[in-house]
């Protein structure tokens, strides 16, 4: 069902206009000229995984509670829950936009993400209108708007699940790699140049190996964001960092740490030894 839904949505070409509008509106906070620190914060680099899924719990919980309070006639509690949900909805929209901006190179996630954003934006708009109606004392209209908004948000949440679990947006692309647990021969030491990363396959797992100032480091060769080939990216020998050629995520190859997103998960790292002129590695 999920794949069929995704395939059907991917055929809706007018969603590209929605995508363009979303990216234009959010470019100041998520685009290439936006503050790297702000983008890293919104993407969740500091958290170790995307921030958006954590933030969305607030509006969903608040608005679901508001529906219960409305049905129970607890007007003050319902009004407060609606306002709390609006605050969380704005935060969700901002963090979602940051994650979406760098995940739209392929048609399916671009269009499914655009519809996801449109549904959630419609839901947020309904709740803002509901808050206004509540302030004006028009409670029946406010309740109808809230229930409509909850419907939009539920649909948006369904598509959010498709983005994460069917299309893998936000999933660590190295999660299913199977690095060697025992010392495994990787490459002749003499073939490893100074300051130039090399990609090799070890037991079917892509590995990035680089020598810097005599020390040898090894990490996954796959960007954790969307699977970009790090060996094709720019290596900075001064900082010992590599930049993904697809979306510009920056990693420190000495420890796998994310320096700048949109990637949020660290690179898997390897122990390295040299024996008899051969470089050997094993997973940490």
Task: Give residue 67's pLDDT.
Answer: 97
pLDDT in tens, 30-50: 888 899 999 999 999 999 999
Task: Give residue 39's pLDDT.
Answer: 95
pLDDT in tens, 101-117: 988 778 899 999 999 99
Task: Give residue 203's pLDDT.
Answer: 86
Task: Give residue 103's pLDDT.
Answer: 84
Tell whether domain 184-283 is in CATH 1.10.10.10: no
Task: Give residue 32's pLDDT.
Answer: 86
Task: Give residue 2's pLDDT.
Answer: 85
Q: What parts of the chain have a pLDDT lower than 50? A: none
Task: Give residue 105's pLDDT.
Answer: 77
| Ordered DSSP codes for the chain | -HHHHHHHHHT-TTHHHHHHHHHHHHHHHHSTTS-HHHHHHHHTTTTTS-SHHHHTHHHHHHHHHHHHHHHHT-HHHHHHHHHHHHHHHHHHHHHHHHHHHTS-SSHHHHHHHHHHHHHHHHHHHHHHHHHHHHHTT-HHHHHHHHHHHHHHHHHHHHHHHIIIIIS-TTS-TTTT----SS-EEEEEGGG--BT--EEEEETTEEEEEEEETTEEEEEESB-TTT--BGGGSEEETTTTEEE-TTT--EEETTT--EEESS--SPPPBEEEEEETTEEEEEE-
Task: Give residue 66's pLDDT.
Answer: 97
């Amino acid at each position: 069902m999920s794949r069929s839904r995704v395939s059907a949505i991917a055929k809706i070409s007018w969603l590209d206009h929605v995508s363009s509008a979303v990216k234009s509106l959010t470019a100041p906070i998520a685009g290439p000229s936006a503050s790297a620190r702000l983008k890293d914060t919104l993407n969740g680099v500091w958290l170790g995984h995307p921030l958006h899924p954590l933030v969305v719990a607030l509006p969903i919980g608040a608005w679901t509670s508001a529906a219960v309070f409305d049905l129970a006639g607890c007007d003050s509690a319902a009004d407060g829950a609606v306002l709390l949900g609006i605050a969380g909805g704005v935060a969700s929209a901002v963090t979602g936009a940051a994650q979406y901006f760098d995940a739209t190179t392929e048609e399916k996630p671009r269009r499914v993400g655009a519809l996801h954003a449109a549904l959630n934006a419609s839901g947020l708009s309904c709740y803002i209108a509901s808050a206004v109606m509540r302030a004006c004392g028009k409670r029946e209209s406010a309740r109808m708007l809230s229930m409509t908004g909850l419907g939009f948000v539920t649909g948006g949440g369904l598509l959010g699940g498709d983005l994460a679990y069917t299309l893998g947006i936000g999933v660590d692309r190295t999660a299913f790699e199977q690095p060697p647990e025992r010392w495994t021969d990787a490459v002749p030491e003499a073939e490893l140049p100074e300051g130039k990363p090399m990609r090799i396959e070890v037991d079917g797992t892509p590995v990035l190996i680089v020598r810097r100032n005599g020390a040898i480091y090894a990490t996954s060769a796959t960007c954790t964001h969307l699977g970009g080939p790090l060996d094709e990216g720019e290596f900075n020998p001064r900082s010992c960092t590599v930049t993904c050629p697809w979306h510009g995520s920056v990693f420190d190859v000495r420890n796998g740490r994310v320096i700048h997103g949109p990637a949020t998960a660290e690179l898997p790292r390897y122990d390295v030894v040299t024996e008899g002129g051969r470089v050997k590695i094993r997973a940490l």
